Amino acid sequence: MGYQQLIATLWQQYSQEITAARKIHELFEREGETVVNDHIALRTFDDPRVDVDVLATPFVKAGYVEQGHYHFPAKHLFAKYYVHAHDVSAPKIFISELMVHQFSEWLQDAVAALLAAIPERLLNHPDQLISCGVPWGVPSYAIYEQLLAESQYAAWMYAFGYRANHFTVSVNHLKKYPTIERVNQFLKQQGFTLNSENGEVKGTLVDRLQQSSTMAEKKQVKFQEGICEIPSCYYEFALRYPDEQGVLYQGFVPASADKIFESTHHDPKQS
């Protein structure tokens, strides 16, 4: 499968679900902008059946090359990112995995049970796994909450499964909104809520990457116990700066990504 098709499938699934992403995408297009994706983020667990390398397989087959990796010790995450070898306009693919063995035995067992429930067909076809949604049946809210107590990321994976966690608009490609501040101002005027953890703009000129994001959209999810509203996915915006040679920085900034992971934060007392 070509990478354009993999990305189109992920976008269709994501934009159908995430109203804010669909609306913002439409708003920019109505403003005469061409929306180019900077990167797409996928999530998984570090089990060798479904880890970052497995999820990357269809992209690598379609011409992507591993470019670097990051550790997020506070969140117990590891991530790699991939860049297309020839197509400079292709979005980067950022894939993170939860270091499951760093959590309680209860969480490790819970994740093992989820992985055991994934159909063999999907494990054998990572190109289908990446956008299969929840492959382990209807989730239990009790388990969701217990996962949430240890890891927001694990709880998100449990409730939403395999799909894009976020798409990211390349601000470098916008004409009327050439800075993160302009993008943020426009979105707030349009009534969207931004992630303001440590300020709305993550990263500085020195980092060569500035980012912002909407707060994750609340979605009604069917649990065994009934329907519950929980945070799902967010839309991200990235502006990259050139280095001394004039080449745009293509990597990521762990400290900023760490804060952006908070966009799917869920405080059960507040929802």
Residue 63, helix vs strand vs coil: coil
Q: Distance (Å, rounded) from C-alpha 39 to C-alpha 168?
A: 5
- Residues that bind Ni ion (rule: CB under 5 A) add up to a total of 2
Q: Distance (Å, rounded) from C-alpha 117 to C-alpha 162?
A: 14
Smallest gap, in angstroms, from Cβ of residue 236 to Ni ion?
5
- C-beta of 41 vs 118, nearer to Ni ion: 41
Smallest gap, in angstroms, from Cβ of residue 242 to Ni ion?
20
Smallest gap, in angstroms, from Cβ of residue 91 to Ni ion?
10
Residues 6+ apart with CB under 8 A from 127: 1, 6, 57, 58
- C-beta of 97 vs 139, nearer to Ni ion: 97
Smallest gap, in angstroms, from Cβ of residue 98 to Ni ion?
16
The DSSP secondary-structure symbol of 8 reads H
Q: Distance (Å, rounded) from C-alpha 95 to C-alpha 257?
A: 12
Residue 210, helix vs strand vs coil: strand
Smallest gap, in angstroms, from Cβ of residue 267 to Ni ion?
22
Cα distances (Å, whole numbers) of residue 184 to 89, 158, 180? 23, 31, 6
One-letter amino acid at 207 equals D
- C-beta of 63 vs 251, nearer to Ni ion: 251
Site map 30..69 versus Ni ion, x via CB under 5 A: -----------x----------------------------
Q: Distance (Å, rounded) from C-alpha 259 to C-alpha 88?
A: 27
HSE at residue 180, side-chain half, CA atoms within 13 A, is: 23
Angle, CA of 80, 117 and 220, to the nearest 5°: 80
- C-beta of 7 vs 143, nearer to Ni ion: 7
Stretch that binds Ni ion, among 13-21, 125-133, 228-236, 262-270 (CB under 5 A): 228-236
One-letter amino acid at 57 equals T
- C-beta of 41 vs 159, nearer to Ni ion: 41
- C-beta of 70 vs 103, nearer to Ni ion: 70
Smallest gap, in angstroms, from Cβ of residue 38 to Ni ion?
8
Residues numbered 230-259 forming contacts with Ni ion, rule: CB under 5 A: 236
Smallest gap, in angstroms, from Cβ of residue 106 to Ni ion?
29
Q: Distance (Å, rounded) from C-alpha 11 to C-alpha 174?
A: 19
The DSSP secondary-structure symbol of 239 reads E
Nearest to 134 by CA among 70, 230, 216: 230
Smallest gap, in angstroms, from Cβ of residue 218 to Ni ion?
20
Q: Which residues bind Ni ion (CB under 5 A)?
A: 41, 236
